[in-house]
Amino acid sequence: MEQLIIVVAVLPLISALLIQLFAGRIGRRIARVSVAATTLSFLLSSLLLWWALTGYGPHALPLGNGTAVLLYDPLSALLASIILGISLIVHLYSVRYMAEEAGYGQFFVLLDLMTAALLFMVIAGDLITLIIAWYLVGVLLYFLLGQDTRSQTAYRFAFWTLITYRIGDIPLILAAACLYNAYGTWSLTTIFAEIMANPDAHQVMGLPLTEVVAALIGLAAFARSAQFLLHTWLPYTMDGPTPVSALMHAGIVNAGGFLMNRFAPVFVHSGDVLNWIFIVGLITAVFGSLLMLTQNDIKKALGYSTMGQMGFMIMECGIGAFSLAIYHLFAHGVFKGTMFLSAGSVINDARQDDGIPKDELYTFAVEKRPDKVRQPWILMAAITLAVPLVILVFAHLLVAEDYFQKQGAIVLLFFGWVTGAQLIFATYRMRTQNIWRLVGLSVLSLVVVVLGYAVISHAFDLFLYPDPAFRAQLYSAATIDLLRFDLLVVVVTLIVVSGWVVTYYGEQVGYRRRQQTKHLWLNFYALISREFYVSDIYTRLTRMLLAISGRLNVWLRWL
Amino acid sequence: MLDSLIILLAGIFLPLFPLSMVFNAILDKITHSWLRLLLFIAWPLIGLFMVLDSNLVLPDWLLTLALATSALYALRLLTVREVNQWSGFLATSLWSLLWLAMMQETPPALLYAYAISMSLPLVLLVLLSAGLEQRYGAAYIGLYGGLARTIPRFTGVLVTVVMAAIATPLFPSFFIMLDMVVKTISATPLAATILLLIWLLWSWAGAHLIQGLIVGRTSIVKIADMEITTIGWYILVLLALVVGGIYLGGVIL
């Protein structure tokens, strides 16, 4: 049965080959081949996922002389279905969307090859297949983003993507080489089994092998998932076709989360590496969200939104909630894919009718006519702080009683708390006459979201990591010293509570910025509007490198 | 003394800076395509034969010099715009790494296979360069552009050949590079990292070449695209390279 996974991965390859061979003869009808192959592949992957859900597997499938191995396990079955689901939607969308574009057949060839590369990446059971697929995803994305061969801009930013991805390949290959030298095999299952049995058996440059490999895998994931300092390609790659943007933001960029999950047995023994990963994820989430809020270009704002989400995903791995990162990857993929694919329709509809109902939200946001009726600020601040916390605590207790013994859960709770509080604060600021109705609706939506998130993520946890001992190991790997953690919790709680109280008070009394702080804020805004000068620094460094290259050529007389 | 002399001579054929300049000077002087092809195939084989036949014990400093040569030419490759010169610089960067493979005690038959599989994509590139010179009068990155729209079949082949030359999976150079990294990392992790950085520079230069040639508007002047039979030959060689790459990967990894 598990052999079906080979068929699932090979079908898009066959489709690509058929399109390449027959595109000239049957013209644009060739897209049907691609859609049919992806549909069939998706159906088969769904079947494989169903078997995995019923407890079938895991199985390793050796190919050829056994160096190449494909893996059928819960992670590969789930991700294969997600990839094919998103790919199928993108295929269907592209049939008409790309109809007027040149290189129609070539686009579907690339799309099929990309689907195959992504599939091989998630089902790779050995390091070589993983590296090949990982590498090819970057190359194929470069050509997909450069689909419009007339556009220098598209290729310029496709190049940024390619180079960042190639930078990310370096740590992955180094990690693979370290593992091969230590264990004498490329097979992931064998390597992981040996690591679980004896994690401290090998060292690299005097450091434990598992820590070095975990750090390298983390770096590879950072480049692929646009973490801070390796993020510049993501907001700028909007010149590619919309279906490619959808595929990239909904699928390809999530590869970092997949990679960290695949190497979860290494991360269990990675010392402080997970804590560093958490910090990088946190910085990315904050910077991504901050930059998103200050963009005046909606496409770049979407790019930075994805960056922020990727920060959250990596952060979740950093606190040991590996399966939550997969759920995040799936949820974000669906949400961002929908946004990209529906963008055209929304613009088209908006041209005919703005579709904005003349309700309380409209009068507040558009007509700037807030109602004067206000509730006591202290009451609203208390509700803002207490309600989300109560909902989150109960939702989490529902899925596991010992949930709060995990530090990762507490960290996530803080984020949920702040998000929920933000929702109620936004409601309060609207100054509606019927504040209780709006607050009630906000709380209800929060309950649905939190319950859904807690229950579904718990289900993901049970499916992807069925061994409770391993799950506990993952969380404890990300744990820090209890005293330090408790102190952090107290400090952050105080900051959150006092922050919201001051915000409510300021909102009530009418806050005025002083001249000096206004100046500071303006400087800060200038810094954000230049995106922290990261792209400028890279551009300068690139020019320097090219100048050195040119100078060397002149000195050496081009010989 | 004799060993040093052999290394010095071999350093011309398996390029070691500054002796590497000899190959590029000769390549620059040759204008005939077939002579260029011969040069690309024979040059590293002569070097390998010289070293392997003399049973030399290679000194450790060769590793540093070979890596430095490869890195130097990979870096210089970024600003090269003439396609033949580009092929020559990439060949220099690739072939100098054969010293590493020799120091890792790779069997002689495999070393010859490495040299041929590194050179073959460059041979194809030289042929394509001749095709560009025939059509446009020069094979020059960034001079005309728009090949993707003007001569799409030619472009498809060109892009694939460049991919093969810069060690993209599943071409042989990819597996050779992977093997070198694996064998180098345990003794000198820094050398392994430099190898990967050289590989990164090749990708950069490859993308620069592709963008400089294929991106842009369609030419107003009608240019003849590659004939189907010619494409067939190119595809055959490229397929052989892929199959050879997978086979080589199975043998060495």
CA nearest neighbour of A541 among B78, B101, B145? B78
In a domain, A232, yes or no: no
In a domain, A99, yes or no: no
In a domain, A250, yes or no: no
Residues A520 and A400 both lie in one domain: no
**DSSP assignment string, A350-395:** HHH------SHHHHHHTS----S----HHHHHHHHHHHHHHHHHHH
Looking at chain B from residue 4 to 23, which residues have their Cβ under 8 Å from any Cβ of chain A?
21
Question: From the list A65, A162, A170, which residue is nearest B196 (CB)?
Answer: A170
Inter-chain contact A174–B78, Cβ cutoff 8 Å? no
Inter-chain contact A166–B169, Cβ cutoff 8 Å? no
Residues A473 and A419 both lie in one domain: yes
pLDDT at A373: 58
Q: Based on the structure, what is the number of domains in chain A?
A: 2
Distance from chain centroid for Cα A360: 35
**d(C-alpha B10, C-alpha B16), whole Å:** 9
pLDDT at A239: 78
In a domain, A73, yes or no: no
Which residues share a beta bridge with A59?
A72
Mind listing the pLDDT tens digit for each residue in A396-416? 666 666 665 666 777 777 777
Boundaries of domain holding A524:
516-559
pLDDT at B221: 83
- Chain A CB within 8 Å of residue B168 CB: yes
- The pLDDT confidence band at residue A197, using thresholds 50, 70 and 90, is very high
Residues A499 and A532 both lie in one domain: no
How far does A522 lie from chain B, in Å, by closest CA?
A: 38
Residues A492 and A530 both lie in one domain: no
pLDDT at B91: 97
Which residue of chain B is at minimal alpha-carbon distance from A176? B182
pLDDT at B82: 95
Identify all chain A residues contacting B78, using CB atoms and an 8 Å cutoff: 545-546, 549
Give the lowest-confidence range in A66-80, A89-103, A310-324, A384-398: A384-398
Residues A507 and A362 both lie in one domain: yes
Tell me: pLDDT of A431 over 60: no
Identify all chain B residues contacting A143, using CB atoms and an 8 Å cutoff: 159
Going A170 to A110 to B208 to B130, the CA torsion angle's sign is positive
Inter-chain contact A150–B149, Cβ cutoff 8 Å? yes
CA nearest neighbour of A471 among A188, A268, A256, A269? A268
Residues A368 and A475 both lie in one domain: yes
- The pLDDT confidence band at residue A357, using thresholds 50, 70 and 90, is low
Residues A364 and A505 both lie in one domain: yes
Mind listing the pLDDT tens digit for each residue in A82-121? 999 999 999 999 999 998 888 899 999 999 999 999 999 9
Work out the mean pLDDT of chain A and round it to a whole number.
86
Which residues are CB-contacts of B234 (< 8 A; sequence separation ≥ 6)?
Answer: B124, B157, B160, B161, B226
Long-range pairs of A302-306 with CB within 8 A, sequence gap ≥ 24: A302/A238, A302/A249, A302/A336, A302/A339, A302/A340, A303/A234, A303/A235, A303/A236, A303/A237, A303/A238, A303/A249, A304/A234, A304/A235, A305/A336, A306/A226, A306/A234, A306/A249, A306/A253, A306/A332, A306/A336
Identify all chain A residues contacting B80, using CB atoms and an 8 Å cutoff: 553, 558
- The pLDDT confidence band at residue A293, using thresholds 50, 70 and 90, is confident
Residues A440 and A498 both lie in one domain: yes
Mind listing the pLDDT tens digit for each residue in B119-138? 999 999 999 999 999 999 99
In a domain, A390, yes or no: yes
Which residue of chain A is at minimal alpha-carbon distance from B79? A550
- Chain A CB within 8 Å of residue B110 CB: no
In a domain, A465, yes or no: yes
The stretch B105-113 carries a mean pLDDT of 94
- Chain A CB within 8 Å of residue B214 CB: yes
CA nearest neighbour of A244 among A357, A372, A347, A341? A341
Tell me: pLDDT of A374 over 90: no
Residues A503 and A530 both lie in one domain: no
Residues A431 and A553 both lie in one domain: no
Inter-chain contact B149–A177, Cβ cutoff 8 Å? no
**d(C-alpha B133, C-alpha B127), whole Å:** 10
Inter-chain contact A548–B75, Cβ cutoff 8 Å? yes
Tell me: pLDDT of A491 over 70: yes
Which residue of chain B is at minimal alpha-carbon distance from A136? B169
Residues A404 and A534 both lie in one domain: no
Which residues share a beta bridge with A203?
A208
Q: What percent of chain A has pLDDT over 70?
A: 89
- Chain A CB within 8 Å of residue B219 CB: no
How far does B15 lie from chain A, in Å, by closest CA?
A: 12
In a domain, A132, yes or no: no
How far does A175 lie from chain B, in Å, by closest CA?
A: 10
Mind listing the pLDDT tens digit for each residue in A144-160? 999 999 989 999 999 99
Residues A366 and A501 both lie in one domain: yes
